[in-house]
Amino acid sequence: MKSLWFCGVFIMLGANEALMAQTKDYPITPVPFTQVHFSDSFWAPRLEVNRAVSIPAAFEQAEQTGRMDNFKIAGGLMEGQHQGLFGFDDTDPYKIAEGASYALMVKPDPKLDAYLDELIGYFAAAQEDDGYLYTTLTNQACDIVKWCHPEKERWDNLQHSHELYNAGHMYEAAVAHYQATGERNFLDVALRNADLICATFNEDGLNIPPGHEEIELGLVKLYRVTGDEKYLRTAKFFMDIRGRSINGRELWGAYNQDHKPVTEQDEAVGHAVRAAYLYAAMTDIAAIYGDKDYRDAVDKLWQNVVSRKLYLTGGIGARHEGESFGENYELPNATAYNETCAAIALVNWAHRMFLLHGDSQYIDVLERTLYNGLIVGVSLDGKHYFYPNPLASDGKWDFNKGSAERQPWFGCACCPGNVTRFVASVPGLAYASKDDSLYVNLYVAGEAEIAMTDQAVKLDVETNYPWDGQVKVTAEPEKVDQTWTLRLRLPGWAWNRPIPSDLYRYAQTDESQVALCVNGESVTFRVEQGYARVTRAWQAGDTVELNLPMSVRRIMAHDKVEANQGRVALQRGPLVYCLEAKDNLDVDIDEFKLTNQAELAVDYRPDVLGGIAVLNINQPGLSEPVIAIPYNVWCNRGANPMAVWLVSR
Ligand code: FUB
Ligand code: ZN
């Protein structure tokens, strides 16, 4: 099955029963990941490991822990006792099914397709006649599951029960499956459930928002794929009633982002995953409805996160307690929570902010999180996960839910499933288009086929990014001699702005310039919203070469970040570096002082950790170089001490 975004409309090519797709959407259209093929040494292997290892392993974990059986029991397909700790365990099969559907779109796999159909059969069986689907309650399992239903009734504990959160993940998975296969079996389950929810939650019905946001994002996707505005209206309804005490409802407070109306919120608070899912969904509403209040609110919330609450690695959610944001500038290193799911949520939000505003600053944050605080969540073998992602470790403290290293699974297994669905979709973040402009946001070797208003263009990208900053783009337009604009993102890290705020800054400015050549000739270029514009009448085989200076940079944090006073961190290109004890047996990682005199030499090591550029820190007085590795691969050789922020004075 092929699919295509064209002028804001998702078109299913070859689907027998194509649904009406909607036409109102973001001003900028992402190029779907099915049109983008990575062949680089960083992402392509990770995508393949995700497809071949992580997805099957996660399905196996979900089976072994009774998550599939819970659906079978609810559907009367087997007898037995409901298993698991949480009412949201249903979401793990949903999320992995979403990842598997994305994988199917890239590579046909009849076995996986059949497995998904079997699984969807269990979901359908577990669904009650009126569309309700939540195995905990159907299986009367409230005595064994946390945060269940005091009255053992539907919707009687929306603050904690996750019924609506589960539904959101189901919708996202069902849309992915429909797009992958053209089959409606999963989508129909989702729509029956969504119809029940739309009929139940509205001005004349229940006026209660979900305790954990997520359904809003799923409903928007259902709207996109069906064109039925009811789903969009219900998504907005859930956000409009948050923070408002309707019918005497007692507000749940900041932890649930329910302390004031969402359009009045201006500081990121509470549970970080919930918050970022909400902010992403608010951005959908800002874009699709053109709602100014929503847009102003997400702009303020974004500003708060980026200037006060973002880790250098792009992680969010400083506190283990409540898996939550801390106060402004509260960014401890060893105790940082930075849940992997929160990083995924931030990337998804940042992508939407770009699609709304068209400014590269959002992709700068997206890229920082993607290459550092998010992908660190999964091991290179694709079978082990971090749930929290600290920026320092003594190698002993069990920060990762009872372990000082990655684990194959967790009692609360939100992160592994989320990683499987996210990694499969990464190529969809790389390109976008608007009218006669084509945006290149992430530099990854490979190919992309991009539909613009009047024509289609194939781009061939050659680069060794993130290990070096030279990028060559060859254009093969369908129609030659047509004028359109290629917008190449100039990453903030390449022009002395590591992030779009004063939270982090380079210790010294670098005078190296970004250089651009068209068909081998150096050209001057206009920069607009952080993109180098190349507007011309394009011919087949035209090339654009971009050279992004990739020296090693020392970074300092805002003085108000207590944890990093007197410390510096190292970054090269988009990658944040760390010291890990494995490479530096004679060094006390936490005490090591990086002097200004230290020389920082880059050494590409194809034999180390899947192929990485290490930094050799040649410090006067030390006989051996101290070695820094990209943060995203730390702890792939067992638990051991690690630090991102190094003592500098
Ligand atoms: O509550 C559902 C998921 O489990 C959250 O998103 C994660 O933070 C974890 O608590
Ligand atoms: Zn998680």
pLDDT at 22: 58
| Closest listed residue to residue 209, CA positions, set 160, 242, 232, 234 | 242
| Closest listed residue to residue 74, CA positions, set 23, 140, 2, 131 | 140
Interatomic CA distance for residues 310 and 325, integer angstroms: 10
Would you give the distance in Å from CA 579 to the centre of its chain? 25
Decide if pLDDT at 23 tops 90.
no
For residue 546, give the H/E element and its range: strand 542-547
Rounded to the nearest angstrom, the distance between the alpha carbon of 416 and the centre of ligand 2 is 7
- Cβ(338)–Cβ(316) below 8 Å: yes
Rounded to the nearest angstrom, the distance between the alpha carbon of 342 and the centre of ligand 1 is 9
Quickly list DSSP for 487-538. EEE--GGGGT-SSSSSSEEESS------EEEETTEE---EEETTEEEEEEEE
| Closest listed residue to residue 391, CA positions, set 557, 513, 526 | 557
Interatomic CA distance for residues 549 and 514, integer angstroms: 6
- Residue 342 or residue 455, greater confidence: 342
- Which ligand is in closest contact with the Cα of 378? 2
Which of 91, 338, 414, 418 is the pocket-test mutation for ligand 1 (most atoms within 8 Å of CB)? 414
Q: What is the pLDDT of residues 505-521, one digit of tens each?
A: 999 988 888 999 999 99
- Cβ(390)–Cβ(339) below 8 Å: no
Strand partners, 537: 483
- Burial group, residue 242, by CB count within 10 angstroms (0-12, 13-18, 19+): buried
- Cβ(333)–Cβ(392) below 8 Å: yes
Q: What is the pLDDT of residues 445-496, one digit of tens each?
A: 999 999 998 899 999 999 999 999 999 999 999 999 999 999 999 999 999 9
For residue 572, give the H/E element and its range: strand 567-572
Decide if pLDDT at 343 tops 50.
yes
- What's the farthest any 2 CA atoms get from each other in the chain? 75
Concerning whether 415 is annotated as a catalytic residue, the answer is no
Rounded to the nearest angstrom, the distance between the alpha carbon of 537 and the centre of ligand 2 is 47
Which of 67, 271, 316, 385 is the pocket-test mutation for ligand 1 (most atoms within 8 Å of CB)? 271
Residue with tokens 């995953």: 273
Interatomic CA distance for residues 271 and 274, integer angstroms: 6
pLDDT at 649: 86
pTM: 0.96
% of the chain at pLDDT higher than 90: 93
> What DSSP designation does 586 have?
T
| Closest listed residue to residue 542, CA positions, set 468, 485, 625, 619 | 485
pLDDT at 21: 57
pLDDT at 151: 84
- Which ligand is in closest contact with the Cα of 416? 2
For residue 61, give the H/E element and its range: helix 55-64
Residue with tokens 């996750």: 162
Rounded to the nearest angstrom, the distance between the alpha carbon of 415 and the centre of ligand 1 is 8
Per the prediction, the chain carries an average pLDDT of 95
Interatomic CA distance for residues 561 and 566, integer angstroms: 10
- Cβ(377)–Cβ(313) below 8 Å: no
Strand partners, 393: 642
Range 299-325 average pLDDT: 98
Strand, coil or helix: 619: coil
- Which ligand is in closest contact with the Cα of 273? 1
Count CB atoms within 10 A of the CB of residue 24: 14
Fill in the amino acid letter for 282.
M
- Cβ(53)–Cβ(381) below 8 Å: yes
The atom number, within ligand 1, closest to the CA of 274 reads 6
Q: What is the pLDDT of residues 61-97, one digit of tens each?
A: 999 999 999 999 999 999 999 999 999 999 999 999 9
Which of 277, 341, 419 is the pocket-test mutation for ligand 1 (most atoms within 8 Å of CB)? 341
Rounded to the nearest angstrom, the distance between the alpha carbon of 273 and the centre of ligand 2 is 8
Q: What is the pLDDT of residues 347-395, one digit of tens each?
A: 999 999 999 999 999 999 999 999 999 999 999 999 999 999 999 999 9
Pocket lined around ligand 1, Cβ cut-off 6 Å: 88, 212, 273, 323, 339, 341, 412, 414
Interatomic CA distance for residues 391 and 374, integer angstroms: 12
C-alpha distances out from residue 146 to 36, 242, 320, 455, Å: 42, 24, 19, 54
